[in-house]
Structure 1
């Protein structure tokens, strides 16, 4: 039967097609091998998996186009400058300026910083190179005739890719194992301090490894640009698709990485050749029958193959042995939330949300609803990433699952739809986590990334799942199908889930998660079932994300649940403080603001020195979130950690909390009844919340009672001024309005702090001179101990002196009898 089918398909044509696909696959494999080898070099020599590796290659391709097509430089010179100078220098700068500042942070923070760099570069490229202008990079020797091998014509450019891959393999083997610099690179990642004691220079070595990795990414980007599209996301994913290859090599072995690249390239090419409409072979007939019978299509199978290969590899890769480590203390630490603060937030948050919906313009209501939904997705990362230290890059995918389930089952019974959406998302999340739970955190991140790509390309893109890429998601109640109602529902859901997340943190299960985050190997040694614990927390996290999808906006779009958006959610949740409920809200709301609010508000504003350069705020929002994530090296605990520290005293003092809340309510009332405008409300609320409210505890417990009244009068007066000054009438520029409000709030804070004086009472009092100790004041115990140590007196001497004095003897003979000088 198989022979008959092959005959019907036409065996010679099928064989020629197979040869052509094999050659094309090997070309792709060579390109993947170059890119993946650079990733392996960076990881094995620095211990950091560079998710921005693909963006390095993308930026290099655009720079190469600028040198050759834009400025007319010779091809050989442009290639030398990009691969040998620009890319290595950029890689060294990234290592010294970003990655070196991440010492002492968790693997999650290191990964998120590279993800932030990826998103920043993807957003920056269209700002530098206008995407509306068509660009292309010609192949090397485009006028040369192709060379025929086994009946298949191969262009000179593709032969160059083959040769380059072979040269890279030989060079890396010789460099890493036969040169002092290469051996030092491998030694630094194993033990940085020991390598330094043996004469290595870890700083320069790490810079060299990142420079080498960036150079290889640039080579892959330049060679791949002519056979791809010169577009930011497309070129980035071209290199990103190679990430399955180094996983086959366990992120260590360059030869196995090349083998993985060959498997990946051939698999992708065979799918492209044989699973394509219009062919008359047996494979296509089976695929066509599958599509007709089920309504599902495999049109995106080729682009999903790298993710599929990566996912399959995870099923069979062998785990590493457990190694004994001491307890890891990282700089990203989070306080255990108290029930008092939690309940205060649970009361004020939904009430504040309702008040906000009353005064916010209707044009921003839908954007705010999206921000609240994204905040709930960010909240799903708190138990997973914040408590257990696990990494997921597929949270938007689980939200997409929840939206699809709700869109199909919630039409007739919304409550049932929400419940099923949570259960389905939780179950799928638990199943997805199983293959990589026995591996390290970076493998889990790659597995979830593969799942996100597969779901986006193979499931959510199906017309049967989301017709025309859209799906109506019904509200909980048919009459609540407004943006305002969805905001309030999301706020209530966020509040309830937030309380549950805090309860988890304070429970025994939460303590197990924190212990696993600190030292998973120690937990396994003590008998803790890591697999079960990880499955539970993954199911909890995925279920929360599924709930966010079920409560999504009225129309869910497939492009909202892509892998890129999952990266952005994870990044901004960590920026806000992934170990805090407030950090998740900050990150989600910030992402919604960047996507839909800040651009329209500041559409006519720009930054820069206008006689030299300028950039519009709308363009800045395309890569500003990535820049915020890059800053995690300075504050790995996130923004809300610092904000919480400033407001902690307010929550602990009931009187201060009441005054702060009443002041904010009063400002809102004036705005709601139309006494003041939106900009005046903004100015007053900024001054009151961020300047005056943090100082209110000092009115009751501060060290300077005499200064309480001046500070109170000054704070109220500044707020009244902010309410009375018509900011909107001063300038028509929204950008200048924000600058004026920020400057005024900063000035008020500086003045009030100066008026009140030092917050530490001991620091406020003049410190006595140590030279006058024993003259105008008695010695204290610490000074006496220092004097005894300076005189060489021991505890035995002092004890002997005390006994002699009790017996009525002189102290001098007693000490002389112990060897002292008389």
Structure 2
């Protein structure tokens, strides 16, 4: 009985912390329509800051709590909403998800910047670990009792806020109809900002309370993912009901502790199942709970993509292979493998292009399917022994097929999910795979056969050999991976231009309309999930082979989210966006950070500067991801639009090509360092549209737009500059004059036809028989 009471109380305590965190998620979603994936990272930052104040700087605990909970927490929420979140209106669901994921990653990198992860930090319970009381035979810490009391107070307070106060009613109306709320005299922005401040405060409270219960060790990734477990409780309340959210959180906490206390001792995977239980519950809740109905109208968002023809895509594919080979000539042997890993990441990113960019379906765990394919080829696709081990093409095909089938199995129960629900379902699958499968290093026996899934915690994946093609050579591997990416990319463009691709786009724009036209949405979703998972599986196999050996950390959900974020930033609707996003996720920023760290060691006098630049480079992917709300179509779209305008400015294009070619020749001759060549090339590519507007504005912008942007020269007005209403308005603005007011103008019928600012009003004046001077009124804008 004492054991039962003990595990029950521990489950209630853990569930209460989940409830506090989940209630913050419900608040933000109900007032802004945004599911905050950064909620756990906010809790993590609050816990680290509390440790810094109390342990690092010796601030008394009550004062530290007041500063972190009442000041820093609300300010963090207000800053997130007013600086970022309110600019996400009229964006697709994937953009909203990516922005909050970017904030989560940015907070993770920021914590590692200020609090080095290799230094141990421990957060103790309130009143010390020795402060305990006895309750029905169970021993409870005072800290745990405080958790229960705080959770009850928050539950009752939020219930009263939503049901008994005017503020609660207006908070519910912010998402439903902000315009109507504004007409009734309320400020929706202020109400949403208050909700985000309150939600951030609850996240900080949860982070401070849960850390001592979970062991006390402060580790950024672990604490962030621990609070993510509250997602299941929030979804149990369908992101609307606070009571159901708290009930789900308590049930989740009790289930975890009961499993830990009463599972058979022969279960070697009990601890992994205990960690995975919240994600299993999240997936089950998403499948079981009723979903919203299909919307009848297409949702117009700010994302715009231009799909090239197959012929253009094939031309760019050939150009990509040539460019990669030319870059290979500049690289040392060790850097070739690094670039190969980046190209393999780009192949995985192609799975997101077809699934999210074309079909509008979500997958937050693309690397999980790469992990499945890697496990399959490790067990069934290797031949030879020692250094002569090679992957077989049959094993690779088997891995791709299994990954596709698993993708179909995951999608099968999730076919009724859309948008955020589908994103959370795939995230639950990815976290479950990492916690349950990739951590399973023990040996099992099934039908007399002994095996282990992730043998020894590390899988050694040799290179592929197909006839004379042996990928043991780094250059051969790089070029083969590039050709594979190019072929798949051209195939996806051809698919997008086919009838099947148009059906996918129709489903993305309006599922209800697509269904009414006779499309089978179940078949479409299932087929595109299988295709996407197969592509991710192939990329995962090649990536694992390029690395040589992989562990469970290679396929974590954080890396999958980073890949998704950078692919969306580059342009998830473009094959080229998948390439740039995949390369940057795989190796780009890590190479930059390593370079700055090496420079810091080589030049001790400038060590501080280089370390600062390295930390900025670590945070920069998240900063770029936050900016996707301003450019939801991606940077590739922006570059493409810029180069479209340069079609009439051939000298600018030729000049840019000449600059890049000259820099390449100098780098090949050893005159320029490779980093200088890369910097010059990148700056030239991105600056060329701007240079074109400056050098040849008429050819790039058109005559009218160029005239509008041309600086005003007063001496040219009426001579070379047409004397128009727009010019007069610009003159008034330059001189700081108020807008012109209507004034009478006298003229006779013999006067010439009016021009300029009087033309419209005089032309509209009624013609009269009078031969005397007539009075007309000129309406000056």
- Shorter-chain TM-score range: 0.7 to 0.9
Tell me if the contact between 1:406 and 1:474 (Cα under 8 Å) persists in the aligned partners: no
* Residue in 1 that maps onto 2:316: 345
Question: Is 1:384 paired with 2:355?
Answer: yes
What whole-Å deviation, never above 9, does each CA across 1:736-795 have from its counterpart, x for those lacking one?
A: xxxxxxxxxxxxx75x7655454433456754224899999989999988755x2369xx
Q: 1:188, 1:386 → 2: CA distance? A: 29
- 2:524 paired residue among 512, 533, 547: 533
Question: Is 1:791 paired with 2:755?
Answer: no
Tell me if the contact between 1:298 and 1:458 (Cα under 8 Å) persists in the aligned partners: no
* Residue in 1 that maps onto 2:779: none
- 1:200 paired residue among 180, 183, 186: 186
Q: 1:124, 1:28 → 2: CA distance? A: 27
Say which SS state the counterpart of residue 206 (structure 1) adopts. helix
* Residue in 2 that maps onto 1:769: 723
Tell me if the contact between 1:353 and 1:488 (Cα under 8 Å) persists in the aligned partners: yes
* Residue in 1 that maps onto 2:743: none
Q: Which moved more, 1:401-410 or 1:487-496?
A: 401-410
Question: Is 1:76 paired with 2:62?
Answer: yes
Q: Which moved more, 1:357-366 or 1:518-527?
A: 518-527
CA-CA distance at 1:245 after TM superposition: 0.6
Question: Is 1:480 paired with 2:458?
Answer: no
Say which SS state the counterpart of residue 327 (structure 1) adopts. coil
Q: 2:348, 2:752 → 1: CA distance? A: 62
* Residue in 1 that maps onto 2:305: 334
- 1:315 paired residue among 260, 276, 287: 287
CA-CA distance at 1:173 after TM superposition: 0.5
Aligned residue pairs: how many? 705
Say which SS state the counterpart of residue 435 (structure 1) adopts. coil
Question: Is 1:357 paired with 2:323?
Answer: no
What whole-Å deviation, never above 9, does each CA across 1:189-213 have from its counterpart, x for those lacking one?
A: 1111111111221110110010111
Name the CA shift for 1:812/1:622 in 2 (closer, same or farther; >3 Å).
same
- 2:636 paired residue among 614, 636, 640: 640
* Residue in 2 that maps onto 1:819: none
* Residue in 2 that maps onto 1:375: 346
Q: 2:126, 2:350 → 1: CA distance? A: 50
Residues 172-251 of structure 1 aligned to structure 2 (within 5 Å): 172-228=158-214, 229-251=217-239
Q: 2:589, 2:676 → 1: CA distance? A: 25
CA-CA distance at 1:485 after TM superposition: 2.3
Q: Which runs of 4+ in 1 moved over 4 A?
A: 610-615, 649-667, 673-677, 686-692, 752-758, 762-767, 771-788
CA-CA distance at 1:651 after TM superposition: 7.7
CA-CA distance at 1:89 after TM superposition: 1.2
Q: Which moved more, 1:463-472 or 1:244-253?
A: 463-472
* Residue in 1 that maps onto 2:250: 262
Tell me if the contact between 2:361 and 2:418 (Cα under 8 Å) persists in the aligned partners: no
CA-CA distance at 1:667 after TM superposition: 4.9
Q: Which moved more, 1:143-152 or 1:298-307?
A: 143-152
Tell me if the contact between 1:594 and 1:621 (Cα under 8 Å) persists in the aligned partners: no
Q: 2:589, 2:681 → 1: CA distance? A: 24
- 2:613 paired residue among 598, 605, 617: 617
Length-normalised TM-score, structure 1: 0.80
Tell me if the contact between 2:47 and 2:208 (Cα under 8 Å) persists in the aligned partners: yes
- 1:591 paired residue among 585, 591, 596: 585
Q: 2:19, 2:71 → 1: CA distance? A: 21
Tell me if the contact between 1:603 and 1:617 (Cα under 8 Å) persists in the aligned partners: no
Length-normalised TM-score, structure 2: 0.84
Q: 1:151, 1:786 → 2: CA distance? A: 92
Tell me if the contact between 2:599 and 2:607 (Cα under 8 Å) persists in the aligned partners: no
Tell me if the contact between 2:724 and 2:757 (Cα under 8 Å) persists in the aligned partners: no
What whole-Å deviation, never above 9, does each CA across 1:618-675 have from its counterpart, x for those lacking one?
A: 3333322111111112211111111222333668999998887687556545544546
* Residue in 1 that maps onto 2:556: 562
Question: Is 1:406 paired with 2:380?
Answer: no
Residues 715-730 of structure 1 aligned to structure 2 (within 5 Å): none
Q: 1:388, 1:777 → 2: CA distance? A: 62
Name the CA shift for 1:691/1:172 in 2 (closer, same or farther; >3 Å).
closer
* Residue in 1 that maps onto 2:394: 416
What whole-Å deviation, never above 9, does each CA across 1:116-158 have from its counterpart, x for those lacking one?
A: 1111101111211233332222211227652222211111111
Question: Is 1:522 paired with 2:493?
Answer: no
CA-CA distance at 1:515 after TM superposition: 2.2
Q: 1:535, 1:605 → 2: CA distance? A: 49
Tell me if the contact between 1:375 and 1:587 (Cα under 8 Å) persists in the aligned partners: yes
Q: 2:68, 2:704 → 1: CA distance? A: 59
Tell me if the contact between 2:392 and 2:464 (Cα under 8 Å) persists in the aligned partners: yes
Residues 32-111 of structure 1 aligned to structure 2 (within 5 Å): 32-111=18-97
* Residue in 1 that maps onto 2:410: 432
CA-CA distance at 1:577 after TM superposition: 0.7
Q: 1:260, 1:425 → 2: CA distance? A: 32
CA-CA distance at 1:471 after TM superposition: 1.7
CA-CA distance at 1:435 after TM superposition: 2.5
**Which ranges of structure 1 fall in alignment gaps of 5 or more residues?**
1-14, 276-282, 292-296, 695-748, 794-810, 814-822
Tell me if the contact between 1:63 and 1:82 (Cα under 8 Å) persists in the aligned partners: yes
- 1:631 paired residue among 627, 630, 634: 627
Alpha-carbon RMSD across the aligned residues, in angstroms, is 3.2
Q: Which moved more, 1:170-179 or 1:642-651?
A: 642-651
Q: 1:20, 1:653 → 2: CA distance? A: 76
Say which SS state the counterpart of residue 322 (structure 1) adopts. coil
What whole-Å deviation, never above 9, does each CA across 1:306-339 have from its counterpart, x for those lacking one?
A: 1111122233222223344x43221121112233
* Residue in 2 that maps onto 1:542: 533
Say which SS state the counterpart of residue 191 (structure 2) adopts. helix
Q: 2:677, 2:536 → 1: CA distance? A: 34
What whole-Å deviation, never above 9, does each CA across 1:195-250 have from its counterpart, x for those lacking one?
A: 11112211101100101111111111111122232111121122111111111111
Q: Which moved more, 1:70-79 or 1:120-129?
A: 70-79
Q: 1:761, 1:651 → 2: CA distance? A: 15
- 2:114 paired residue among 123, 128, 152: 128
Tell me if the contact between 2:345 and 2:540 (Cα under 8 Å) persists in the aligned partners: no
CA-CA distance at 1:372 after TM superposition: 0.8
Tell me if the contact between 1:392 and 1:444 (Cα under 8 Å) persists in the aligned partners: yes
